[in-house]
């Protein structure tokens, strides 16, 4: 049985400013004047809000110096309070958090899939990483299904073709939005980064762009030989989604 763990890291940027200040008392008055000017009945107004009716909704702001959409080759700047509502909140989801391969048959690969969905409005995009706590093991830790080496050699960061039914182990393929280029097609697999061997989580989705509902499919694959010990094997995969700002 394969258990999936979701970890989402979000970053909050705090800007700290220090300044000397003094307490200022503001009073309503009918005249502002000096040796050089006189303002009679001063009145400064500003407003904002979202007027609505059954047929419309209007978002309004006043008092900004340069609101609007500014664009050029390579960038767009949305300036103004009204654009706050267009920012994409960061989110990450996995379609299911527990996978069961059932009974395995030697030299007959078994696969199952999950769907990963990411939305990110940060200026530096996002990344999703994955790792395993250890290779698939029985509960007594006496038997292991190895991490795949594919048909030749693959690793946690480099995919390779895995089509042979006599090459054994556990691995995964990625397809869809923002997946690494080494997943050339559905036959290319990696092994999972193994935290018990001090391997670092590997990136499986990444983009420097703002995006909504970026979707990828992860395909898990197990193939065992006839000498594999019978038993119930399991491990835990940890997905870490990281927004960029």
Structure confidence at residue 15 (pLDDT): 39
Q: What letter does residue 134 receive in the DSSP assignment?
A: S
Q: Supply the mean pLDDT for the chain.
A: 83
Of 65 and 219, more confident: 219
**Euclidean distance between CA atoms 125 and 208, whole angstroms:** 4
Residue 157 phi, psi dihedral angles, 5° rounding: -120, -10
Q: What is the mean pLDDT of residues 163-172?
A: 98
Alpha-carbon distances, residue 244 vs 61, 79, 120, 143 (angstroms): 28, 20, 8, 40
Q: Which residue has the higher pLDDT, 209 or 59?
A: 209
Please report the pLDDT score of residue 84 as a whole number.
58
- What pLDDT, in 10s, does the model give residues 44-97? 555 556 677 888 777 666 666 677 788 888 777 877 666 655 678 899 999 998
- What's the confidence (pLDDT) of residue 79? 75
| Share of residues in the chain with pLDDT > 90 (%) | 59
Task: Give the neighbor-by-neighbor strand order of the sheet with 169-176.
Answer: 91-94, 110-120, 211-223, 169-176
Query: What pairing do the DSSP bridges indicate for beta strands 91-94 and 75-79?
Result: unpaired
User: Of the given ranges (31-35, 36-40, 79-83, 220-224), which has the lowest mean pLDDT?
Assistant: 79-83
With contact defined as beta carbons under 8 Å apart, do 7 and 238 qualify?
yes
Q: Between residues 22 and 38, which one has the greater pLDDT?
A: 38
What tens digit of pLDDT does each residue of 92-149 get? Answer: 999 998 999 999 999 999 999 999 999 998 878 899 999 999 999 999 999 999 999 9
Choose the most confident range, by mean pLDDT, from 34-43, 72-81, 96-105, 153-162: 153-162
Please report the sign of the dihedral spanned by the C-alpha atoms of residue 151, residue 153, residue 156, residue 158: negative
Report residue 166 as tokens: 């006599």
Please give the structure tokens belonging to residue 39: 């303002």
Mean pLDDT of the region 224-245: 94
List domains and CATH numbers for the chain: 2-12+89-243 (2.60.40), 47-86 (no CATH)
Say whether pLDDT at 233 is over 90.
Answer: yes
What pLDDT score does 162 carry? 98
């Amino acid at each position: 049985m394969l258990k999936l763990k979701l970890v989402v890291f979000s970053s909050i940027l705090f800007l700290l400013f220090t300044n000397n200040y003094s307490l200022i008392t503001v009073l309503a008055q009918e005249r502002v004047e000096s040796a050089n000017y006189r303002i009679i009945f001063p009145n400064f107004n500003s407003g904002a809000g979202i007027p609505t009716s059954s047929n419309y909704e209007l978002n309004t702001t006043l008092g900004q110096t340069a609101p609007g959409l500014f664009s050029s080759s390579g960038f767009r700047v949305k300036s103004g309070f009204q654009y706050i509502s267009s920012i994409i909140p960061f989110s990450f989801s996995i379609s299911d958090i527990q996978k069961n391969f059932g009974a395995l048959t030697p030299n007959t690969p078994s696969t199952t899939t999950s769907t990963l969905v990411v939305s990110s409005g940060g200026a530096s995009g996002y990344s999703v990483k994955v790792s395993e706590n250890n290779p698939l093991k029985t509960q007594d830790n006496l038997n292991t299904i190895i991490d795949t080496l594919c048909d030749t050699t693959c690793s946690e960061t480099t995919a390779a073709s895995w089509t042979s039914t006599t090459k054994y182990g556990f691995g995964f393929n990625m397809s869809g939005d923002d997946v690494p280029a080494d997943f050339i097609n559905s036959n290319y697999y990696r092994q999972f980064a193994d935290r018990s061997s001090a391997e670092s989580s590997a990136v499986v989705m990444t983009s420097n762009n703002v995006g909504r509902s970026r979707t990828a499919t992860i395909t898990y694959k197990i193939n065992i030989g006839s000498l594999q010990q019978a038993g119930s094997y399991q491990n835990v995969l940890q997905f870490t989604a990281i927004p960029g700002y």
